[in-house]
Each structure stands twice: as structure tokens, then as C-alpha cells.
Structure 1
Amino acid sequence: MNISFDGKRVLVTGASRGIGKNLALRLSKYNATVIALSKTKKYLDILTKQEPNIQTICVDLRNWQETRQAIKNILPIDLLVNNAGVACLNPFLSVTPEDCDLTFDVNIKSIINVSQVVVENMIERKVAGSIVNVSSQASCCALNDHAVYSASKGAVDILTKTMALELGSHKIRVNTVNPTVTMTDMGKLGWSDETKAQQMLNKIPLGRFAEVDEVTDAIIFLLSNHSSMITGANIPVDGGFLAT
């Protein structure tokens, strides 16, 4: 499949590490103009040393107004990936107000905020666009210690469908990818306990966790014209976990 994003400006949030970093580098190779957003400058500096053509924005997505202004400063944007996310993994009875505020600020409110600015400009320019929100298999099933995280990702899924419904008339597509455990540096650390990992692997028909490139591939497909009739969809990248 021949994919090129030549002439397209792509914003990736949470782009300094993990899936976001991999995606930013891949999109740059496909000739996109990539704008990478993160709150951590040192990781953005590492990214630009690796690929100097990538532009960066350093802003805390929890700050609504500063984020809006930062996005306005780099418009226009043709393609958007809302990848930034946090995971506060505590048993339900141990969930704190701080867990809820942090999780929903980053995992939901930032998607609304960033997307509003980008979409308003897309509509003004009368251009078609594609938005991919990174969700999780945890949006669709109950997992121990995932009460707040799963709730936020469930919200991502229905927000995505609502955006797709409302923005379809403007030729703007909105979809999610819903990965299982993914072998980022953080994923490897979080699932290094063999007993814990095996319990999850036993529920995945393909018998393994996802590699970062496999999640990135799905995002790139949804951004591209090869998915031009797909909107409002949740695409599992889970090795069949949700089929069991």
C-alpha cells in the first residue's frame, strides 16, 4: 500500500515517547510536516535530534487556555492524532479525586480542547481532515485497577463517535485505535512481572502483546485516504482480546 502525506500538516500530541514518538518519526518519513506536542522539553529535544524536520510544541495539555493558544500558533493542521494519555491504576476503592482530575483532564478534556481549535480551522478552510483518538482495549472490558482509566477511555470512544456524527458533513473523519498492552518502554516496565503478563497473554488469541509499529500502522491507515469511508469506528489492535 503506497502511503504519502506530502503537503499535509500533522499534529501528534503525547509525541515525545512511546507510540507518539514512533508515529511522529514514521509520519515524517512519509513526507508529512509533523508537529510534535509534549509537556516535557527534554524528550522533545531528543526527538528533534533524531529527526530535525519535526517541529515541536512544549505545553501542558491540562492548561486549557495555554494549549488553545499554542495550537492556534501552528495552524493550519490537516491531520490530528490525540495520543496523549495518562494511566492512574488503582483499585476502585482507592481511587482519589486527584486520579480522576488528572486522568480526565488529559485523556478527555485535552482531546476536546485541541480538536475544537483544529476542527474550527478545517471548517473555515473547507478542507477534509482526519482525526485519530488513541483509546484502549480497556474502554471495552473490565480490568482490575483500571476503573478511572477505563472510564476515561470509554469516554474517548463515545466522544469519537459523536465527533464523527457531527463533523461528517464537513468531510472530517474521526476514529479511534484501541490497543492492547503495547511494548513501549513503559509497557515493558509495567508488564515485566511474568505472572501478571501471562494472565493477560492467556486472554489474547494471538498469544502476545502489540508492538509499537503495529499500533502506528493502524493510526497511519486511519489518517490516510485508504480509509476514506471509515469514520466513527473503534479499531482494536489487540490480538483478538475483545473477541474472547
Structure 2
Amino acid sequence: MADFTGRAVLVTGATGGIGAATVRRLIGQGAMVYAGGRNPDGLAELAAETGARPLPFDLTSEDEIRTAVTNLDLWGVVNCGGFGGEIATPQDTDIEVFDKVIAINARGSLLVIKHVAPGMIERGGGSIVNVSSQASLVALPGHVSYGSSKAAVDNITRVSALELGKHNIRVNSVNPTVVMTEMSADFWGRPDVGPAFLAQMPLGRWATEDEIAAPIVFLLSDDAAMITGTSLPIDGGYTCR
């Protein structure tokens, strides 16, 4: 198990299922965690449970991101904040929803990297993990907005790894399959959607939050010291078809 003692890590989207699981795992491995998100009450609850430090800010606001992260003594970042948007075909997409998905998932991740990178460079390095999706690797029906935003996240990962490697900063992304949360159940829980999807997955089951958090923490850690610029599918084999 990796030891994060003495290292500060920011996790955005910390009140979500994957974000909260990542916070708990990092705290359990000695990290000092800043829990970022838009829900102050949820952050306070998570802080009371785990000892993380709540850090409220809005991923759509560069000013709020800059103010929140600029003076933090960060070694690591997990960009987990995200928005699912809508299930729609390209011809039926609400472009305002598309813009919001891009603003939170792609633009928000880039802005966090933009404003944490100078401090990480000054301190001699660190590690960043972006939470992408299997929807960036294969076409999924109805996912034109979400998949596009996560494809952008993967490119942000690769370019950031290229640019920041000389500063000893590694940047990777993980590409999870569906975690059956209350939000995802609206679509993936449908009898005409879920069974057909799982039938194409070699492992044939939904992922848990902890099964996503564990690889995130691995990529963040020194155990992955020679890994940067990768997009790691955590998808039960779905994208190997």
C-alpha cells in the first residue's frame, strides 16, 4: 500500500461516489486531502467523517478555482468533478447542456491543472489523475456530450503529461465503466439498456466506487512513478472488444 504521509492532495467532485471513495482511500493511506466541490454541506459531512479539509468552489469559475487552489501546498490532484448532462442523439442535443458538460468536465479539469501546476512546479513535482470515462474510448448511444467532454479530458491529460513531465509532474487519466449510482440508474438501470451493455462486457457486472478509487490512488502514487500520459480503462474489459 502506497504511503502518502506528508503529501497534500486535492480531490474535486469529492462528494460524489468515486470522489468520496478516493478521499477515504487517500486519508487511509496518510494523505492530507482537500475535498473540493460545490456542495458545502456535503463537503462538511465528508470532512467530519474522514478528516479531509473542505474546499468549496465552482468548476465553471476560473476566479473561484484560482482563489481556492493557488496557495495550497499540493503534491497531488484528482480531477473527479463532473456532470453527466443528458442522454441524446447528436440531432436532439440541447446545445446549452452540451456547453455545460464541456465547461465542467473538460474546461474545469484544465483550469484546475492550469492553476495548480505553477505551485507543483515550484515544489519540484507531483502527480495528477483525471477521471475520464469509457465513453471517451468507444461510442455509446446518447453520449455525444458526455463522451466528447471526456475525450477532451484524455487529450488534456496527454498534452499536460507532455508539457509537465520536464517538471517531474505525471499526468494520467482513468476511464471507468458505469458505477450504478442513483444518477446512472436512470439510464443504465433500464431493462432495455443495462442487460445488453453487460452482455458485451467480459466481466459482466457494474463497477463499484472502490474499484475506481484504487487505480486512481495507484496512478497518483510513487508505485506508478514511470507512468504518465496514459488513459487507463477500468471497464471490465468493455473497450477491448
* TM-score bin, normalised by smaller chain: over 0.9
- The percent of aligned pairs where both chains have the same amino acid is 41
Give the distance between the partners of 1:202 and 1:129, measured in 2 at CA. 39
| Residue type at the aligned position of 2:6 | G
**Cα offset for 1:83?**
0.6
Structure 1 residues 32-89: Cα deviation after superposition (integer angstroms, max 9, x where no partner): 00000010112112212212x210111111111122111124x111000001111112
- 1:8 is matched with which residue? 7
Indicate the RMSD between aligned Cα atoms, in angstroms: 1.2
**Cα offset for 1:14?**
0.3
Give the distance between the partners of 1:162 and 1:232, measured in 2 at CA. 8
Give the distance between the partners of 2:169 and 2:181, measured in 1 at CA. 30
Q: TM-score, normalised on structure 1?
A: 0.94
**2:101 pairs with one of 100, 103, 107:** 103
- 1:1-244 alignment, distance < 5 Å: 2-51=1-50, 53-73=51-71, 75-89=72-86, 90-125=88-123, 127-244=124-241
Q: How many residues are treated as equivalent by the alignment?
A: 240
**Structure 2 gap ranges (5+):** none
Check the 8 A contact 1:19/1:184 in 2, yes or no: no
176-185 or 216-225, which deviates more: 176-185
**Cα offset for 1:188?**
4.1
| Residue type at the aligned position of 2:113 | S
| Residue type at the aligned position of 2:46 | L
Other structure's SS at 1:208 match: coil
**Structure 1 gap ranges (5+):** none
Structure 1 residues 178-231: Cα deviation after superposition (integer angstroms, max 9, x where no partner): 001113343345432233110110110111111111100110100011111100
Give the distance between the partners of 1:9 and 1:66, measured in 2 at CA. 20
Give the distance between the partners of 1:172 and 1:213, measured in 2 at CA. 25
Check the 8 A contact 2:65/2:115 in 1, yes or no: no
